[in-house]
Each structure stands twice: as structure tokens, then as C-alpha cells.
Structure 1
Amino acid sequence: MKKPFLTLLFSLFTCMAFSQNHILPLWSGTPPLQTDMGLEEEVRQEGIIRIANVQKPTIEVYLPTKQIATGKAVVIFPGGGYGILAYDWEGTDFAKWLNAQGIAGIVVKYRLPISKSLTDPKEVPLMDAQRAIRLVRQNAAAWNIDPAKVGVMGFSAGGHLASTLSTQYNHEVNRPKDSIDALSARPDFSILVYPVISFRDASAHSGSRKNLIGENANQELMDRFSGELNVNAETPPTFLVHAQDDKGVPIENSLLYYQALHKNGVKASLHIYPTGGHGFGFGLNKGAVESWREVLLAWIEETLK
């Protein structure tokens, strides 16, 4: 296990030393579906950086040096049950690692539906996700990114958001529009890491479901936010990874989404590891799951040929 660990450390050090990063707001002024109540964001360092009560959503952009840039980009949605964001563990750490592979990593600090300032909470995470991918495409030339090679990556509840974006990228709500809205919000590929997918029955992650659509949501709303029910032939190619012993988000979530992708003729790659639990991140010292990132890189290369 020492060699992969040392390789990872070298990759992260290289990225921190040579990559470029900056932060951009998703929206100018008060974001849509939000009332300015003077609430403040909460940031806690508890082994990992946990962010709650996001009021000003942003993208944090990590760009590889031009000498190694591949033109590919991954928009990253950290997990946290729609209650917090595991911002470094499932966000910036991966953006830096992607930079070492010549891939731009863009971490989205999206608004969380439990915030009291939101007027229609269930719509807000998807709206922020759509805006994030459109902003990347708007800046593609300046950031040395191919606008046809922009994918998404989501962890746990962030995986639910990534799958919702992948199946509902054209969903609209009534709000003021600008020129950025003319750009496509469809990801070119999706990477779902121990994702929440279904809000139905035993497969549901009750915390994510409650935080996004409420405890007593009707069947129509549960179905709308169950990714496996919304896959069609236009859903992007997808890479899924899950651990069989995941006690937080049942493995059935990834299985259901893969089955829907396969049924609709969408290219998909499903990787199941016997151990790793929930929230394994890089998978360091977790056994075979530690190799999942190398498998992912090969899949991205094959998918974007």
C-alpha cells in the first residue's frame, strides 16, 4: 500500500505547487430562490472541512498547468446528506488530484436545502449545479477546457445531485435568466461515488431525502428525485463505484442506476468492492477499493476518445 500512498502524496504536492485556483460566485447579488436574511455560512474543521448554511454559492476552480492540460474538466459536488458539505475530503482534495492528471477540477459550494433563507429549497441544489457547469463552459476558452469534455463527479448526496443533473439538466424554474442560461447544463460524463440515487423504499438514504424534499413528501416528488426513474437515452455515460459493506447508503442505489442506464443503452461502468464502507474518499488503506481512481482515469480516457 505504500507505493499508491506515496504517489498520491507526490501528486497532491505537485498540484499545490503548480496548479492555479480561484473562486467565482455562481450568481451575482442574491441568488435565485433565496431571501437575504443576513444568515452566515458555517465552516468547521473536524478532521475534514465541513461547510453548512451556504448563502453565497461558488465554484472553486483548480486548473492544471498548460503543459499537462488535457482539456478535460470535472465539476465536483461534495457529499454531506444535503445538510453539510465535506468540502475538502470529497471536494478540493480531488480537484488537486485531478490536476496532477491534467484535468481541471471545479468544486461546487452549492446551497443546502435546509437553509431558512431559501424559498423553494428542493429546487436550489439542482439550480446551482446547472449554473456551475454552464459557468465552466462560459469560461472554457480562458481556462483551456474543451466545452465538450466537461463531466461531473459527486459523492454520496453529492452523487445524488450529480445524477439529478445528469437526468434533469433541462429542468427549469421560474427565475430571471441571463446569457449564461443559453449554454448547455448537460454533463458529458458522470462519476458517481457511493451515490444516493433512489428516494423510494428501502434504497432511500432517509437523511438526504428528508433534507431535500421533506419528511412527508408525496410519491410524485419522491419519484422525481429518484435518479433511476429519470434515466433516458440522453443520460451521459456514467462511472459508478460503491462498497458492498456500505452501511450509510445501500449498494442498491448504484445497482438501480446502472440497471436503468443499461436498459436505456447508455454506456456505464459499475465497480463494486467488497469493503470500504461509506465515505471512503480516496480509499487509502481500505484494501482493494484504493485502486478505484486508477480504474476511473482509464475509463475517462476511453469514454472521451
Structure 2
Amino acid sequence: MKRLPITVLVSLFFLNGLVAQDTIIQLWPKGVPNQIDIGEKEVDTLENIRWVRNVQQPSIEVYLPSLPNNTGKAILLFPGGGYQGLAYNWEGVDFAKAFNSQGIVGIVVRYRLPNSKSIVKNRHEVPLQDAQRAIRLVRKMAPKWNIDPDEIGIMGFSAGGHLASTLGVHYDDKVYDNQDDADQLSARPDFMALVYPVITMDNEITHGGSREALLGKQSSDELMKHFSNELHVNANTPPTFLLHATDDEAVIVENSLRFYSSLKSHEVPVTMHIYPSGGHGFALGLNHTLLKGWLNGFIEWLSSMD
């Protein structure tokens, strides 16, 4: 039987509520690194979209497709929000549900943000700590969730795209002490998709708010270079799908162009879609004439790697 387009399936699932969150797992059962308990509270509010701020207990929220449809693939989702909040449903849960309709496990990562007062040191490392731990936990749980451990990818949006690309080039960095056997597993994604991503900390083209939130107002040249992810691509960087709009005024398209050029120069498989319009933060783009089919293109790209 011919599959319905993903845009139709997304609408059906949203209307009927047929996809349910399966489980939430805390990332750090033995204590969150770089953090002390000072009584800070997480903020989780609905403001047209659901915003999560001041994350204190990072976690993964797992959505499983029906077993007969399970392809063995999984995608960890990193919502954006300028490293100051997470657009949790807009760039997280909605995509997890959409991927379920294609037999893909969708996993929303509730990662910590560097502006929390509970963080003790090295604020710039905190999102990457959570990202590495999240993908390792998914690899550990792969048999239980019917996931192929070699088919685990990531997708990030805006500042979440910066975090995803940071994981893609710094997956081997030692940024926390091992907690259990999951930390013996690789944190390298098997593929990554970066949607209107912040890539570089270069003054000329970075998103200033994301850089300041991650690195502080007076960041060193060393830190800026370390988190300019186009500078750290090598032959082992995962195959990448890039998506951006030319008229994005918040995170300008040169971020994606620069990363594409670096991937290409290192012969890393890369596909890039640049749309003439769409602005920033369009997510699924269902109400945009040009963008409403972009997720179909991503699914086709993903299938082409089989």
C-alpha cells in the first residue's frame, strides 16, 4: 500500500492523538554534573508554543512507533531557543510524532541551558554533557526499543542545531566522568540534520544571543574557535542534512553555507536545501507553500543512505 505524504500523516496524528509519549528517562541517575541544588525551579509554560526554561533535571522523552512499522532508526531532537529556552513541542514533540508515522523512534532531549544559576563551572560544556549522555543512553536502550545502534541520528534547530553540530564534531570530547556502562558507548551520531542552525561563533555571522548565552559576554578567542563547529569537521563527521531559508534574519544562511563548505572539503556526504523564504523558526513549515514538504525530503535523504 502506498504511504501517505508525511504532511497528511502529521495532521491525522495531531487530530486523533494516536501517538503517545512512551517514557521519560532522567539522564543523570547518579547526580547531574556541574550542578548544585539551590532550589531553582524549571519553568514549563504554554505561550502559543510550549517553552521549557531553566532545565534542572535533563531527560529524554521517547516516542515509539508501532512495532510492525519500526524501521530500527531513531532520531534525537534538540529544540532551539537561543540557549535560553527550549521550543519543546514546536521543535521537539511535534517532530517525534511525525517520525513515528514513518516508523522512526523520536526522542526529545530536554537539555540544560547555560544561564542556570545552579551550574557550578564550565557553563559552555553543560549542553554537550547532556547531548553526549543522551545518545549513549539511547544506544544502551536500543535493544529494548528495537533500535539499530548504528542507525541513531540527531536533528537540531537554531541553537539546538548548534548543539547538534557540536555533538557531531565533539562527540569524543571528555566532558564528564562516567556514571555507568552507557558511558562506555560511542556518542557519535550516525547522521545529523541541522535546521536553520547556528554553526559558528564568528562575530560576522553568528547569532549573538546564542553565543552570549553559551560563552558569556567576554568569551575568549579559544572558546569561540572551539565552538565554531565548521572548524572541527573531519572525515569522521557524520553525514549531514542542512536546511535554511535565505531570508532568515535571526540566524543568517551563511552559517549553513560555511558548514556545507567544510563538510564538502572533508568529503563528508552532505545535502543542503536553501529556500528563498521562510524566515527563522518555521519548524515543520506546514503553513508555508514552499516549506511544507521539507520533511518529506529529509525522509527520502535518510532512506537513500540505507
TM-score using structure 1 length: 0.96
Kindly tell me: are residues 250 and 24 of structure 1, through their superposed partners in 2, closer, same or farther at Cα, counting changes over 3 Å? same
Matched residue, 1:218: 220
Cα drift, residue 162 of structure 1: 0.3
Find the aligned partners of 1:100 and 1:13 in 2 and give their Cα distance: 13
Map of 2:261 onto structure 1: 259
SS at match of 1:45: strand
Runs of 4+ in 1 over 2 A off after TM superposition: 3-8, 11-14, 173-178
Deviation of 1:20 after TM superposition, in Å, equals 5.2
Secondary structure in structure 1 of the residue aligned to 2:69: coil
2:272 alignment partner, SS class: strand
Of 226, 230, 233, which aligns to 1:231?
Answer: 233
C-alpha distance after superposition, 1:98-137 (max 9, x if no partner)? 0000000000000000001112211010010000000100
Whole-Å separation in 1 of the counterparts to 2:262 and 2:276: 23
Match of 1:78 in 2: 79
Name the residue aligned to 2:191.
Answer: 189
Distance in 2 (alpha carbons) for counterparts of 1:205 and 1:18: 35
> What is the CA distance between 1:211 and its match in structure 2?
0.4
Q: Partner residue of 2:57?
A: 56
2:161 is matched with which residue? 159
**Cα separation, 1, equivalents of 2:99 and 2:176:** 35
Indicate if the aligned counterparts of 1:78 and 1:90 stay in contact, CA closer than 8 A: yes
SS at match of 1:287: coil
Query: How far apart, in 1, do the equivalents of 2:6 and 2:190 lie?
Result: 29
The residue that corresponds to 1:39 in the other structure is: 40
CA pair 114-129 structure 1, distance change in 2 beyond 3 A: same
State the alpha-carbon separation in 2 of the partners of residues 151 and 176 from structure 1: 22
Confirm or deny: 8 A CA contact 1:21 1:60 kept in the other structure: yes
Q: Are the equivalent residues in 1 in contact too, given 2:13–2:19 (CA < 8 A)?
A: no
Letter in 1 for 2:136: R
Q: Is the 8 A contact 2:80 2:91 kept in 1?
A: yes
Deviation (angstroms), 1:6: 4.2
Given that 1:187 and 1:236 are in contact with CA atoms closer than 8 Å, whether structure 2 keeps it comes out as: yes
**Distance change in 2, residues 1:216/1:167 (3 Å):** same
- Is the 8 Å Cα contact of residues 6 and 296 (structure 2) preserved in structure 1? no
The structure 2 residue matched to 1:135, chosen from 120, 134, 137, is 137
Mapped contact 1:33–1:124 kept (Cα < 8 A): yes
1:156-191 per-position Cα deviation (integer Å, ceiling 9, x unaligned): 000000000000001113535421110000000000
Distance 1:26 1:174, change over 3 A: closer
Counterparts in 2 of 1:281-296, with a 5 A limit?
Answer: 281-296=283-298
Task: Tell me the C-alpha RMSD between the 2 structures.
Answer: 1.4
SS of the aligned residue for 2:62 comes to strand
Structure 2: gaps of 5 or more residues = none
Shift of 1:18: 4.7
The secondary structure found in structure 2 opposite 1:202 is: coil
Residue equivalent to 2:181: 179
Report if aligned partners of 1:197, 1:254 keep a CA contact under 8 Å in 2: yes
- State TM-score, norm by structure 2: 0.95
Sequence identity percentage: 51
Aligned amino acid, residue 302 of structure 1? S
Q: Which runs of 5+ in 1 are unaligned?
A: none
Structure 1 position 7, deviation (Å): 4.0
